[in-house]
Structure 1
Amino acid sequence: MKKPAVSSKTGTESKLIAYASNVVKKTKENADLFTDAAEKVALLESVLADYTASRTEASFRDMRQVVIKNQQAVLVRQALYDLSLHIESVAKGDPSILLAAGFIPSKNKTSSVEQAPKANDLRVMVVHPGTNTVQLRVNRWRPARFYQFEYRKVGSLNEWIKVLSSKSKTSISNLEYAQEYEFRVTYLGTDPAPNYSDTVRCLVS
Structure 2
Amino acid sequence: MKKASIVTSFGRYSDTELMIKAQVIVEKMKDNVYFIDPDPAIVDIESALAAFEAAITYAKEGNKLQLLDRKSKRSTLVNLLVSLSLYVKLKAKDNGQALASSGFTMRKTPEPVCILSKPQNFKVEPGYAGTIKISLKTIQGAKAYLYEYRKKGMHEWTVLLDTKSKMLLNGLESGKEYEFRATGIGVIAQRVYSDIISSFIL
Q: What TM bracket, shorter-length normalisation?
A: 0.5 to 0.7
User: Larger % of helix: which?
Assistant: 1
Matched residue count: 142
> Is the CA contact 2:145–2:164 (under 8 Å) kept in the aligned structure 1?
yes
After TM superposition, the structure 1 = structure 2 runs for residues 184-203 of structure 1, keeping only pairs within 5 Å, are 184-203=181-200
> Is the CA contact 1:149–1:184 (under 8 Å) kept in the aligned structure 2?
yes
Counterpart of 2:103?
104
Query: What is the Cα deviation at residue 104 of structure 1?
Result: 3.3
User: Would you say 1:47 and 2:71 are equivalent positions?
Assistant: no
User: In structure 2, how many angstroms separate the alpha carbons of the residues matched to 1:141 and 1:202?
Assistant: 23
User: In structure 2, how many angstroms separate the alpha carbons of the residues matched to 1:182 and 1:148?
Assistant: 14
The SS at the match of 1:99 is helix
User: In structure 1, how many angstroms separate the alpha carbons of the residues matched to 2:53 and 2:176?
Assistant: 33
> Is the CA contact 1:120–1:198 (under 8 Å) kept in the aligned structure 2?
no
The SS at the match of 1:132 is coil
After TM superposition, the structure 1 = structure 2 runs for residues 55-204 of structure 1, keeping only pairs within 5 Å, are 99-100=85-86, 104-106=103-105, 109-128=109-128, 131-157=129-155, 159-204=156-201
> Is the CA contact 1:125–1:135 (under 8 Å) kept in the aligned structure 2?
yes
Taking only the aligned residue pairs, the percentage that are identical comes to: 23
In structure 1, stretches of 5+ residues that fail to align are 25-43, 52-74, 88-95
Q: What is the letter of the counterpart of residue 168 of structure 1?
A: S
C-alpha distance after superposition, 1:6-56 (max 9, x if no partner): 5544459x99x937728x7xxxxxxxxxxxxxxxxxxx68526869xxxxx
User: In structure 2, how many angstroms separate the alpha carbons of the residues matched to 1:137 and 1:166?
Assistant: 12
CA separation of 1:3 and 1:192: change in aligned 2, threshold 3 A: farther
User: In structure 1, how many angstroms separate the alpha carbons of the residues matched to 2:84 and 2:42?
Assistant: 16
TM, length-normalised to structure 1? 0.54
Q: What is the letter of the counterpart of residue 125 of structure 1?
A: E
The SS at the match of 1:104 is coil
CA separation of 1:101 and 1:190: change in aligned 2, threshold 3 A: farther
TM, length-normalised to structure 2? 0.54
